[in-house]
Amino acid sequence: MGSLVIDTNKGRKYVREVMYLPGLKENLLSVGQMDEHGYFLVFGGGMCSVYDGPSLECLVMRVKKKVNRCYPLTLLSENQMVLKASVTHSTETWHRRLGHLHFGGLKQLRDKEMVHGLPQLADYNGVCEGCQFGKQHKEEFPRNQVYRAIAPLELIHVDLCGPMKTESIAGNKYFMLLIDDFTTMIWVYFLRYKSDAFNCFKKFKAMAELQSGFKIKTLRSDREGEFKSSEFDQFCEKEGI
């Protein structure tokens, strides 16, 4: 919404609260809105004449009707003149001009005079938002494993999943998964509460070590709360895990 400016022989006339539609090729000027602002409109002979007052002495504009029964209004826009312009030589501006080149590269271009007209640029400690979105990348997974077990129970992977939306028949909403890194053997335990994870692990440790004859040496988890309690840490320290 804005104002329409019309130049007449008696000065400028303004039509307030004109609706502007960016996607429309032609602006629409309401007859009722012109009447509310005190203008008088006379239709006849295929013409629409707009006057500034009931005396019809000051003609604001006269528009000819088109084939679609509309009255197109063509206004000449004023030419804008700029008396002074300045060029910005900030480091951030040159960074954008050269396709978001990194600031170290900008300094190298300037020091080695590889670009004609490149001024001396100050150090820039800011963050370019465009570079943050456009140049970010995801690191690939390491191709070589850092550590793999060479004996049973040397490394146990453990994780707790839940709570599930639907309980089991026994009322369990969690399950704990344990995987032996060497044999890839898997154990699954179903739990009713998250706090049961510690007691479940102690039972698993006793069973696995008794049946295999090996000791659990390393336990790898996602370090969630069920595996970070002081009670759990003390137990692992006591058992040499």
Task: For the chain, give every domain's residue range.
Answer: 2-64, 89-121, 155-238
| Class of residue 159 by CB neighbours under 10 A (exposed 0-12, middle 13-18, buried 19+) | middle
- What mean pLDDT comes out for the span 54-71? 80
pLDDT for 206-233, tens place per residue? 999 999 999 999 999 888 878 888 899 9
Of 35 and 174, the structure prediction assigns the larger pLDDT to 174
Instruction: Tell me the percentage of the chain whose pLDDT exceeds 70.
Output: 85
**CATH among 3.40.640.10, 3.40.50.300, 3.30.420.10, 3.30.70.20 for 155-238:** 3.30.420.10
Backbone dihedral region of 107: left (phi > 0), alpha (psi from -120 to 50 degrees) or beta? alpha
pLDDT in tens, 121-159: 888 888 888 888 888 888 877 777 667 889 999 999 999
Residue bearing tokens 């898997």: 186
> What local confidence, expressed as pLDDT, does residue 201 receive?
94
Residue 35 has pLDDT above 60, yes or no: yes
For the whole prediction, is pTM greater than 0.85?
no
CA distance 224 to 228: 6
